Structure 1
C-alpha cells in the first residue's frame, strides 16, 4: 500500500491506499463499506457494497476490476471506488484508467467520507502515478458536476498542478423541492398535460379497480422480481433483446441487488395494479437523503392510459412525502421527454479526465484533451450553421 500524507489542514495524519483486483466483495470489507455509505458526503446506491458485489459476480465478464480503497491513519475507510482499464478514449485507441461503468450503472461517483474528499483524491491519484498497471490518465464518467466530491477532485488536482478537463457534460432531470407534491405537479407539469393525465387515469379506472402498492419490508420480494421481469420481457425491451430476463447474467444481477437492497431497506419497489394485476412497476434505489431511479416497465397493451407516467406521478408524491429523502435522481438521458416533463430540476453530469504524472502519460492526456476540444469546436460551428 502507498502511504500518502494528508494535504488538507482539516485532515490530519497519514493515509493508506490500495487497489487490489477483485471478483467479489469480501465479508471483512462489508461492515466498513456500510459504515462509509452512511457517512458519505454524497450517497450513491450504485457504489454501495451490495450493488458492486452483484455487478462483480454477474456483469464483470473478462474485465479486470480493481477496488480502490483509502484509509486514514487508524484504518478507517474514507473512500472507495471501483476502477478498470478502458482500451480506448472515444475513437482514440489510448488506454486509460476509468471508474468501472457497466450497463446497469447510472451514477459513477465514489463513496467518500464527508470532510475527506480532497485527501481521498490525492491518495488515489498518487497511487495511480506510482502504479505500472495504471493507464495514461484517469477517466471518470457519470460524475456529479457540483458537490463536495467534485470540489475535492478539483482541489487535489490544483494542489499538485495536475491538469484536469471536462470531456463531456449534460443535464438530467432530478426532483429536489420542499413544496408539496400537489403544488409541485401543478407548478412543473403543463396544464394541458395535467388535464390529459387526469383523463387517462379516469378512463383506466373505468376498466376496473386501480391501486398502487409499495413492497413492504416483509413483502414477497421474489414474487415482485418475477412480475417485473415478466412484464418487461413482454414489451419492446423483450422484442429488442434488452430486457433483463433475456440475459441470464442480467436477470441474476437484478434479482440479487433487489433482494439485498430489500433486506437493507435500500429499495423502493412500486407497482400499479388493475384489478390486482400489475400493469406498471418501478424500482428506485435509496440511500437517504437521496434516491435513484433504476428501472421502470409497463404493460404496453394499456399504453393509451400512460401507466408509466401514472406510476411516475405516484412516485413524486412518495418522494416528496418521505421525511428521509431530499432529492431524487432520474438517471435518465438528457433528452428523455417523459421524465423531463414531470421533474423540473436538473443535475449537471460530467465526464472528467485527470492527468497522471509521467512524460508518456502526460502526452496521452494532452492528445485526448486536444481531440476533445477540437470536437467541441466543430460541434459549436455545426450547431451555429444549423441555426
Structure 2
C-alpha cells in the first residue's frame, strides 16, 4: 500500500480539476488520524460523493468517536487525488457477527444506518478500482462487510461490475426493503390517490380533523443554529417520556447516547420537523442530509395524544410539505427493518442488504451464513418475547379487574 505523507501537513481543497490530478494514493488511518482529516476536505467529499451518505458525514462520525464509539478500534482508507480527498472507507474489526477470520466491517453503531463509503462522483471508477486492487493484492483487508446499503445505488452497482474482473467474490446477506419517498408527476393528489389506500386516507383525514378540534395545529421546520438545539432537547424529552424511555432505548437512557445526539445533530447536517399543537410539539421527526435526500432516523410523539394519531398526522403533513417545495429530491426512511410506518405513506422502496466482498469464496459464503443465522436468531428471540408478553398481559390485567368487581 502506498502511504501518503503525514496528516500533519494541511491538505487544501484544490482548485485544479480532478481530471488533471495525479494518480491516486491511499492512507491507512486509525481513529486519531481519521479525526485529524482536514474538515474542508471531508466536508467537500460528503457533498460531492457518488452516493450520498450523511451517516458518514464528518460531524456524525466524529460525534460517535467522541461518545458512543469512544475507544473503539476504528480504521479507514482515505484515497487522495493530489491534495483532494476522493474516497473514504471507514471500518472496524469487531462486529455483532463473530467470525473465525479477520473482517473489515463498515463502521456501525445504533445510529449509523447506512454503510456506503464516501466516493467522489468524478473519481468513482478510479477509487473503486484502486480499492479492489488493494484487496486483491493483499494490501488491504481480504474480507469486507458493508451493512445496510442500497443494492441499486451507484456505488454498489459500480463496485459489483468491477469485482469479478479482479477475481474477487461478491455476496448479499439479509435483504430487506426500506421505505423511500420520491415525487410523482401528478403531484400531491396523485400521491394520495396512488399510494395511500382509501382506508388509510380516511384515517388521515379523520386524524387531522380531530387534531384541529383539539387546538391549532401547524408544521414547523427548524434547521438553523439558533433554534435547532432547543428543538433537539424537546425531541430528547419527548422520546424519553414514551415507550423508548421505558425500554431503555431512548437517547436519554444513556449519557453517551445523549451526548452523541447533541454533538451529531447540528445545524448544517440535521433538521427537525415538528407537529405543533397550540405551539407545543406533540410529534417530531429528525432528519439529516448532505445532498438532495433527507434521511429520517428518528421519530417521537407525545403518548398523551396517542389516540389522536400525531405520528400519522406528522407523516401526512411532511408529504404535503415535500410536494409544496423543491428543496428535497427524496426522503429515505432510514429504518433497518421492514414494517416501518413510512411504508404506508412513501411511494417507493430501496432494496437494502449487507454486501460482502472478499478474496476467498469460502470466507465470503461463511460470512453470509453467519449474518443470516444471527438475523434468524434475533427474529426468534423477538417472537419469543412477544409470545411471553402476550401470556403475561391477561395475568397483569386480572388484579385490576378483580378490584373493580369488588368495588
Could you say whether these structures have the same fold, taking a TM-score greater than 0.5 normalized by the shorter chain as the test?
yes
Deviation at 1:35, TM superposition (A): 1.2
| Residue pair 1:319, 1:325 contacting (<8 A) in 2 also | yes
2:76 aligned with 1:67: yes
Q: How does 1:247-326 map to 2 (within 5 A)?
A: 247-259=254-266, 262=267, 264=268, 266-326=269-329
> Which residue, 141, 150, 168 being the options, matches 1:144?
150
Task: Give the distance between the partners of 1:337 and 1:51, measured in 2 at CA.
Answer: 23
Q: How does 1:86-105 map to 2 (within 5 A)?
A: 86=94, 89=97, 92-105=99-112
Q: CA RMSD in A?
A: 2.8
Q: 1:143-195 CA distances to partner (integer Å, 9 max, x unpaired)?
A: 11113211221133122121111123211110012432333123211111111
Deviation at 1:321, TM superposition (A): 3.3
| Residue pair 1:175, 1:329 contacting (<8 A) in 2 also | yes
Deviation at 1:54, TM superposition (A): 0.7
Q: 1:301-351 CA distances to partner (integer Å, 9 max, x unpaired)?
A: 111111011111122223333323211111124432521111120101121
CA distance 1:142–1:188, shift in 2 (3 Å): same
Tell me the matched-pair count. 360
Task: Give the distance between the partners of 1:78 and 1:333, measured in 2 at CA.
Answer: 28
Query: Where does residue 196 of structure 1 map in the other structure?
Result: 203
Query: Where does residue 93 of structure 2 map in the other structure?
Result: 85
TM-score (normalised: structure 2): 0.81
Give the unaligned 5+ runs of structure 2.
5-18, 376-407
Q: How does 1:168-247 map to 2 (within 5 A)?
A: 168-179=174-185, 180-215=187-222, 217=224, 219-247=226-254
CA distance 1:333–1:372, shift in 2 (3 Å): closer
Deviation at 1:111, TM superposition (A): 1.2
Bigger CA radius of gyration: 2
Give the unaligned 5+ runs of structure 1.
5-9, 377-387
CA distance 1:15–1:54, shift in 2 (3 Å): same
Query: Where does residue 114 of structure 1 map in the other structure?
Result: 121
Query: Where does residue 8 of structure 2 map in the other structure?
Result: none
